[in-house]
Amino acid sequence: MMIGIYTYHSYSTMQKAARKAALTESKLLTDYMFVHRQYYINLYATKAIPLDVKSLRGLPAYSAGPIANTFSNANNHGIKIKLASDKPRNPNNLADKQEQEAINYFNQNRNEKEYFKLIEEENNAPYYQYAYVLNVKRDCLVCHSKPQNAPTFITEKYKTAYGYKLGDLRGIISIKVPKKHADEYVSEIFSEQIKFNIFMFILFFIAAILVFVNQSRIQYLSQKSQAIIR
């Protein structure tokens, strides 16, 4: 019974560890995306790279989508990254049902920056949905405020996603981590630990039996010796 209780407790602990591993992995990917994003934004902001129709594809708001899509298709863990919005310029960045839930959450909780939830859908393998809020910054207003304030090549190419103000919610960084991947990440460690602890339980149980048998034998011999003396 003790082994059963311990195994259940270990499984529960493993699930919590897997959840934490998925969250940590999502945060690391988000941090990397922000560093990459900010580096190129600074190049455009300082005019080291001029913003024009030729350099548009290097702008983080444009390039982050293809980069995220390439990563999603190339990694071997089934992790999906996406810049999602309820008002995207690129239809491929339209938020799905779970991403829209995250956007709604941020709209209702303006001070929150992160969203994390285990998604278990009927026809899909379970996964962790992580989202990080993307608010409009001053640099974003160059292309996302009033259409008349945006560069001409932007207004000629895009007819949507204008009218934003500083601090408005533009969208989210969406990261989907398969639960299977997170479980496998920690299961090997916990499996070895459980095996070792069960082995120690068995040794302790055997030792306890041996001590009990030995004490019973000593007590029996003592009683027999006393009987002979009498």
Query: In this predicted model, what pLDDT tens digit does every residue of 37-54 receive, in sequence order?
Result: 889 988 988 889 998 989
Please give the model's pTM, rounded to 2 decimal places.
Answer: 0.79
Give which of 170, 162, 192, 180 is closest to 60, Cα–Cα.
170
Residue 221: strand pairing partners:
none
Inside any domain, residue 211: no
Inside any domain, residue 224: no
Inside any domain, residue 217: no
Query: In this predicted model, what pLDDT tens digit does every residue of 103-136 receive, in sequence order?
Result: 999 999 999 999 999 999 878 899 999 999 999 9
Tokens of 107: 């709209």
Rounded CA separation 17/182 (Å): 9
Query: In this predicted model, what pLDDT tens digit does every residue of 15-34 receive, in sequence order?
Result: 888 899 999 999 999 999 99
pLDDT at residue 142 greater than cutoff 60: yes
Inside any domain, residue 200: no
Inside any domain, residue 180: yes
Q: How many domains does the chain have?
A: 1
Tell me what pLDDT residue 19 has: 92
Inside any domain, residue 220: no
Give which of 126, 137, 228 is closest to 179, Cα–Cα.
126
Q: Is residue 35 a contact partner of residue 27, using CB atoms and an 8 Å limit? A: no
Q: How many CA atoms lie within 13 A of 219 on its CB side?
A: 6
Rounded CA separation 76/141 (Å): 37
Inside any domain, residue 227: no
Residue 120, domain extent: 2-185
pLDDT at residue 8 greater than cutoff 90: no
Rounded CA separation 30/40 (Å): 16
Inside any domain, residue 201: no
Q: Helices 60-74 and 2-45 meet at what angle, rounded to 10?
A: 150
Tell me what pLDDT residue 13 has: 80
